[in-house]
Amino acid sequence: MRHLAFAVLLAGLALLLAACPQTPPPPVNPADCPVGPLGAQGAEEPLRLQGLGRFAGEYVPGELLVLPQPGLSLQALRAEGVEPQEALSQGLLRVKVPKGQEEAKARALLRAGAQYVQPNYLYRPLRTPNDPFYATHQRAYLDGLVGLEAAWNQSTGRGCPPLIAVLDTGILDHEDFQTSKYLPAGVNLDVADGDADPTDRSADRGHGLAVASVLGADTQNGRGMAGVTWGGYIVPIKVFPDGGRGTTATLLEGVRLARSLGVRVANISLGANVYDPPLDEELTRARAQGMVIVAAAGNYESPYPGYSSGGPVLFPASSPSTLAVGAVDQDRRRASFSALGPELDLVAPGVGVLVAAPSGGYARSSGTSFASPIVAGVAALYMSRYASERKEWPTPDQVYTCLTQTAEDLGPAGKDDEYGFGLVRADRVLTDTTYCFP
């Protein structure tokens, strides 16, 4: 890295950042950046789901998500012992039923005229925590494995910074995550509790801050850690209610909010062990409109039945609309806890990753939760440089092709279940003229 040139450049940037309010204004599209939101949403197509969802995995006791047929009245629902709670996107209803009778009530609703019924699945953050450990460098894995110093010489994400959403437990105050976060005025970023305050009060408090800090901690500010992207404009969308866990309903609203805000990159470091059709359709719409969605593949504290280590890729990482990310250690070996399978696309460092901690300090954490934002950050660096040079945003297909085709192949030759296409390589992504900048 050209240290002297960077020092002069960053000294000037530091003065600009110091003059900014804690909540920066929305990204400005200068003359050399593409202008415009995500592709037009247009009229939302109705959900085509039919029948009964799977009553497997974990879900909210006493709740169902119902897609009524036209003409199915609230009186008919109540006649089946079902109490409507709220209307969600795409015509879904969240309803209450007696606990323990979820599947029986779902079948009764289908007989009464519902088009589709499923549980309100529960999601959990994907973290394998380690003891707190403060450190000031991350070079061994961010540069030694991912090649970020060479990539930063090409782009730090500040030229045309894409709006990045972190759908997670929310955010906590930290000295090293101030100028990077973007809290748009008048927007309810807490979709789980329905308010504008995305402060993390979840059972897994601190997970959202840790993920966001890996992706975009305030960088070159004389404090703590570096983020993968220095561009800022990270929107924390809280999909976990105070003291609770995320659900199909909250994730649906979180992705929908990200779409409405014009988010270009979304990181989802959470998962469930069941396929979720309504959420998958929402992810499909988001990708079709131009959003790159990166998701953690999943963690297993003990091997899943039938696996010597790890387990199958969780949802939403298993969705065709996402980039599924597993974890490797600093020797490029798959972490024993990391999910594996044909859905896996890439791997990134996920063992002993430095994160911002709720205490205001720093810690070392392990999990695919922290590998995923490294890949999301590399995607943002690529999109920023591409937009600066080409005056348009790359499509999600372009981003996925660029990242997977420039990855460092690990394990058996070619794509495999343990490493996907391989280790993400930021240095190749920012310089490749075959797949990334043809």
Q: Can you tell me whether residue 149 is helix, strand or coil?
A: helix
Of 70, 105, 121, the position where a domain reaches its end is: 121
Q: Which residues pair with 168 in a beta bridge?
A: 238
| Separation CA 371–CA 351 (nearest Å) | 8
Q: Do 117 and 174 belong together in one domain?
A: no
**Same structural domain, 221 and 300:** yes
CATH, residue 200: 3.40.50.200
Give yes or no: residues 64 and 189 share one domain: no
pLDDT tens for each residue of 419-429 = 999 999 999 99
Identify the DSSP state of 121. Answer: E
If asked whether residues 98 and 183 sit together in one domain, one would say no
What angle in degrees, to the nearest 10, is found between the helix axes of 207-216 and 368-390?
40
Domain end among 94, 121, 148:
121
Whether 275 and 414 map to the same domain: the answer is yes
Check if the beta carbon of residue 267 is closer than 8 Å to that of residue 376: yes
> Of 29-38, 62-71, 110-119, 378-387, where does mean pLDDT reach its minimum?
29-38
Please tell me what DSSP assigns to residue 30: -
Whether residue 270 lies inside any domain: the answer is yes
Any catalytic annotation for residue 416?
no
Same domain as 85, residue 132? no
| Active-site position among 155, 318, 366, 369 | 369
Residue 25: pLDDT over 70:
no
Cα-based torsion angle of the residue sequence 427, 422, 323, 373 in order, rounded to the nearest 10 degrees: -50
pLDDT per residue as tens digits for the range 85-116: 998 988 899 999 999 999 999 999 999 889 99
Q: Please count the CA atoms within 13 angstroms of the CA of 98 that sit on its side-chain side.
A: 8
Residue that has been written with the tokens 């309903």 in this structure: 249
Q: Residue 17: how many CA atoms within 13 Å on its side-chain side?
A: 22
Q: Considering its fold, how many domains does the chain have in total?
A: 2
Residue 5 has pLDDT above 70, yes or no: no
| Domain-located, residue 78 | yes
Do 89 and 130 reside in the same domain of the chain? no
Task: Give the residue-averaged pLDDT of 122-149.
Answer: 62
Strands 83-87 and 164-168: unpaired
pLDDT confidence of 339, banded at 50, 70, 90?
Answer: very high
Domain end call among 72, 99, 121: 121
86 burial (CB, 10 Å; 0-12 / 13-18 / 19+) is exposed
Which of 40-44, 239-243, 351-355 is least confident? 40-44
- pLDDT at residue number 32: 67
Residue 295 lies in a domain: yes
For residues 96, 98, 99 and 105, what is the CA-based torsion angle, rounded to 10 degrees? -80
The active-site residue, picked from 207, 269, 276, 319, is 207
Would residue 26 count as lying in a domain? no
Residues 261 and 382 both lie in one domain:
yes
In a domain, 243, yes or no: yes
User: Is 332 contained in some domain?
Assistant: yes
**Residue 25 domain-assigned?**
no
Beta-ladder partners of 349: 328
Residues 230, 158, single domain; the answer is yes
- Residue ranges making up the domain that contains 374: 126-429
Amino acid present at 304: Y
Q: What's the rounded Cα separation, in Å, for the pair 155 and 322? A: 24
Give yes or no: residues 166 and 116 share one domain: no
Q: Report how far residue 129's alpha carbon sits from residue 437's, in angstroms, rounded to the nearest whole number.
A: 38
Backbone angles phi, psi at 279, to 5 degrees: -70, -35
Pick the catalytic residue from 89, 155, 168, 174. Answer: 168
The secondary structure of residue 316, as a DSSP letter, is: T
pLDDT at 129 over 50: no
Mean residue pLDDT of the chain comes to 87
What is the spatial distance between Cα 377 and Cα 132, in angstroms, rounded to a whole number?
Answer: 24
Q: What is the pLDDT of residue 424?
A: 98
Within-domain flag for 169? yes
318 an active-site residue? Answer: no
Q: Rounded mean pLDDT of 312-325? A: 98
pLDDT tier at 277, thresholds 50, 70, 90? very high
Q: Is 207 annotated in the active site?
A: yes
pLDDT of residue 70: 82
**Together in a domain, 101 and 197:** no
Give the closest residue to 48 by CA, choosing from 397, 284, 321, 318.
Answer: 284
Q: What is the CATH number of the domain that holds 59?
A: 3.30.70.80
Q: What is the DSSP letter of 413?
A: S
CA dist., res. 233 & res. 31, Å (int): 19
pLDDT of residue 3: 33
Whether the pLDDT of residue 169 is over 60: the answer is: yes
Say if residue 115 is in the same domain as residue 138. no
pLDDT grade, residue 41 (50/70/90)? low
